[in-house]
Structure 1
Amino acid sequence: MDLLNARPRKKKTPPDVLPSATLSEFDGVRYLHLGDTPWVQGAMRIRKPQTLELDYVQRMMAWLLLKPTAAWAQGHVVQLGLGAAALTRFSHSVLRWRSTAVELNPQVVAACRQWFHLPPNDERLNVVVADARAWVEDTLNWDSADVLQVDLYDHDAAGPVLDDEDFYRACHAVLTEGGVMAVNLFGRSAKFMKSARRIEAVFGVGQVWKISPTAEGNAIVLAGKGVDWPERDELQRRAEAVRERFQLPAPPWVRLMRVLPTPRAVVAVDDAEELMT
Structure 2
Amino acid sequence: MVQVRGCVYSAMHAAGQINIFLMEPVTFSESGGIRYLHFGSELIQGAMRMRDPDEIYLEYNQQMMAWLLFLETKPGMQVAQLGLGTGALTKFQHRYCPAVKTKVVELNPAVIVSARSMFFTPDDDRRLSTLQADAKVFVNNRQYCNYFDAVQVDLYDAICDGPAASSLDFYKGCFNILKSPGVMTVNLFSRHKSFNVNLKNICEAFGNRVLLFPESHDCNVVALAFKGPKLEVEWQDVSKRAKVIMEKTGLPTNTWAAGLSRENARQEICLSI
State the TM-score bracket (shorter-chain normalisation). Answer: 0.7 to 0.9
What aligned pairs does 1:85-96 form with structure 2 within 5 A after superposition?
85-96=87-98
Larger helix proportion, structure 1 or 2? 1
Match of 1:245 in 2: 248
SS at match of 2:197: helix
Match of 2:197 in 1: 194
One of 185, 190, 209 as aligned partner of 2:188: 185
Match of 1:256 in 2: 259
Tell me whether 1:121 sits opposite 2:124 in the alignment: yes
What is the CA–CA distance in structure 1 between the aligned matches of 2:49 and 2:120, rounded to whole Å? Answer: 11
* Stretch deviating more after TM superposition (246-255 or 226-235): 226-235
What is the CA–CA distance in structure 2 between the aligned matches of 1:201 and 1:157, rounded to whole Å? Answer: 24
Conserved in 2, the CA contact under 8 Å of 1:187 and 1:212? no
Displacement after TM superposition at 1:260 (Å): 5.4
Displacement after TM superposition at 1:233 (Å): 1.2
Match of 1:49 in 2: 53
One of 39, 44, 67 as aligned partner of 2:43: 39
SS at match of 1:117: coil
What is the CA–CA distance in structure 2 between the aligned matches of 1:242 and 1:124, rounded to whole Å? Answer: 20
Conserved in 2, the CA contact under 8 Å of 1:66 and 1:229? no
Amino acid aligned to 2:43: W
Gaps of 5+ in 2: 1-20, 267-273
Amino acid aligned to 2:89: L
What aligned pairs does 1:210-249 form with structure 2 within 5 A after superposition?
210-227=212-229, 228-249=231-252
Conserved in 1, the CA contact under 8 Å of 2:163 and 2:194? no
Conserved in 1, the CA contact under 8 Å of 2:37 and 2:85? yes
What is the CA–CA distance in structure 2 between the aligned matches of 1:172 and 1:261, rounded to whole Å? Answer: 23
One of 149, 155, 161 as aligned partner of 1:158: 161
Conserved in 2, the CA contact under 8 Å of 1:180 and 1:223? yes
Match of 1:76 in 2: 78
What is the CA–CA distance in structure 1 between the aligned matches of 2:193 and 2:117, rounded to whole Å? Answer: 38
SS at match of 1:182: strand
CA RMSD of aligned residues (A): 1.7
TM-score under structure 2 normalisation? 0.84
The verdict on how the C-alpha distance between 1:66 and 1:54 changes in structure 2, with shifts beyond 3 A counting, is same
Conserved in 2, the CA contact under 8 Å of 1:78 and 1:149? yes
Tell me whether 1:18 sits opposite 2:23 in the alignment: yes
Query: Which one has more relative contact order, counting CA pairs under 8 Å at least 6 apart?
Result: 1
What is the CA–CA distance in structure 2 between the aligned matches of 1:43 and 1:32, rounded to whole Å? Answer: 6
- How many residue pairs get aligned? The number is 242
Match of 1:61 in 2: 65
Match of 1:102 in 2: 105
Conserved in 2, the CA contact under 8 Å of 1:188 and 1:213? no
Stretches of 4+ moved more than 6 A in 1?
none
SS at match of 1:123: coil
Displacement after TM superposition at 1:261 (Å): 4.8
Amino acid aligned to 2:188: L
Give the fraction of aligned pairs with identical amino acids, expressed as a percent. Answer: 38
Match of 2:151 in 1: 148
What is the CA–CA distance in structure 2 between the aligned matches of 1:203 and 1:151, rounded to whole Å? Answer: 18
Displacement after TM superposition at 1:192 (Å): 2.0
What is the CA–CA distance in structure 2 between the aligned matches of 1:42 and 1:242, rounded to whole Å? Answer: 23
